[in-house]
Amino acid sequence: MTATATTARTGWLTDVRATPATLAQWWVLTVRLIVPSVKTGEIITAIAAPLTFTASFYIPLNRVMSFAGLGFSSYAQFMAPIVILQACAFTGVSAAFRAATDAVSGLDRRFDAMPMHPIVPAAARMSSNVFRLLIGLVAGVIGTYVVGFRFAGSFAHTVGFLVLGLLIGINFCLGADAIGTYTRSPEATTQMLVLPPLILGMLSTGLAPAHQFPHWVQGFVRNQPVSQFAEALRALGGDPGGHAHPVTWSLMMPTVLWIVGTIAVSCYFIARQNLKRS
């Protein structure tokens, strides 16, 4: 066998050994993130957080908001979307913390040295985030059901409510992962992401109608993304008294544009950061 043939054969074998089993790697890394969260009780936190949001919103505000008038059959029906959105935001903060921890600990650099597609670690983080997100959404729906929320629309609208909640959560997690990867500081990332959901949640139509806010801030309250998400979810959830807005394209379009735009930007920065290291 000639030297050229030997070199070619050796190179071919090296290429075969270096070819990553991308799906298997993604699964292993996903399990690496999910199993510890089950053992350490992080899943319990994912369940408890939406239940806590439900109680903290409903108990102090039910009587006040029902007396003030909401145009809905109950305050539980009105506030259900903000519980779902807060559960999504809570998962997003956890996602950012995890991405920043992987970056600052050198784990991402270790993965870069392996025969692995550079997007696999980020994909595994997102899979584990979706796992926690699904648990949080189920807990949020159960919690709001306990205080009186009911799906009052068609079956398609109910499915739409659940799918939209999942998409919003994925949207939050992708953006948070991108921020965590770039900041590379778990503490700074957590502090950075705690206030925006709190401020936008309070200054939104999730807890009270826009007309109950001061006139000078009503425009912001009505048009900011959390309010758009809440109105879309509220329409899909329906109202037993028939007071919910109909599901129309004009109502859903801002939410769709916010989700598509944010996911596109987040995916760009996540891919850019991961491919730059490869």
Beta carbons within 10 angstroms of residue 3's beta carbon: 7
Helix axes 120-147, 42-68, angle to 10 degrees: 40
Q: What is the pLDDT of residue 20?
A: 52
Contact in structure between 263 and 126 (CB atoms under 8 Å): no
Q: What is the pLDDT tens value at each position of the chain, 278 positions in all?
A: 454 444 444 443 444 444 458 888 888 889 988 888 888 888 899 999 999 999 999 999 888 886 666 778 889 999 999 999 999 999 999 999 888 888 888 777 787 777 778 888 889 999 999 999 999 999 999 999 999 999 998 999 999 999 999 999 999 999 999 998 888 788 788 778 888 888 899 999 999 888 889 999 999 999 999 999 999 999 999 988 888 889 999 999 999 999 999 999 999 988 887 776 55
The C-alpha atoms of residue 188 and residue 207 are separated, in whole angstroms, by 28
Contact in structure between 112 and 20 (CB atoms under 8 Å): no
Q: What is the pLDDT of residue 73?
A: 83
Q: Which tokens belong to 146?
A: 């306990």
Count how many residues are written for the chain: 278
The C-alpha atoms of residue 222 and residue 206 are separated, in whole angstroms, by 10
Q: Which long-range contacts (CB under 8 A, 24 or more apart) does 248-252 make?
A: none
The C-alpha atoms of residue 75 and residue 65 are separated, in whole angstroms, by 7
Contact in structure between 258 and 166 (CB atoms under 8 Å): no
pTM exceeding the 0.95 threshold for the entire prediction? no
Q: Which tokens belong to 72?
A: 């809905």
Helix, strand counts (H, E) of the chain: 11, 0
Distance of CA 190 to the CA centre of its chain: 15
Radius of gyration of the chain, Cα coordinates, nearest whole angstrom: 22
Query: To 5 degrees, how large is the angle CA 270–CA 140–CA 84?
Result: 50
CA atoms within 13 A on the CB side of 67: 5
Q: Give the chain's largest Cα–Cα span.
A: 91
Residue 21: phi and psi, rounded to 5, are -85, 85
The C-alpha atoms of residue 143 and residue 3 are separated, in whole angstroms, by 71
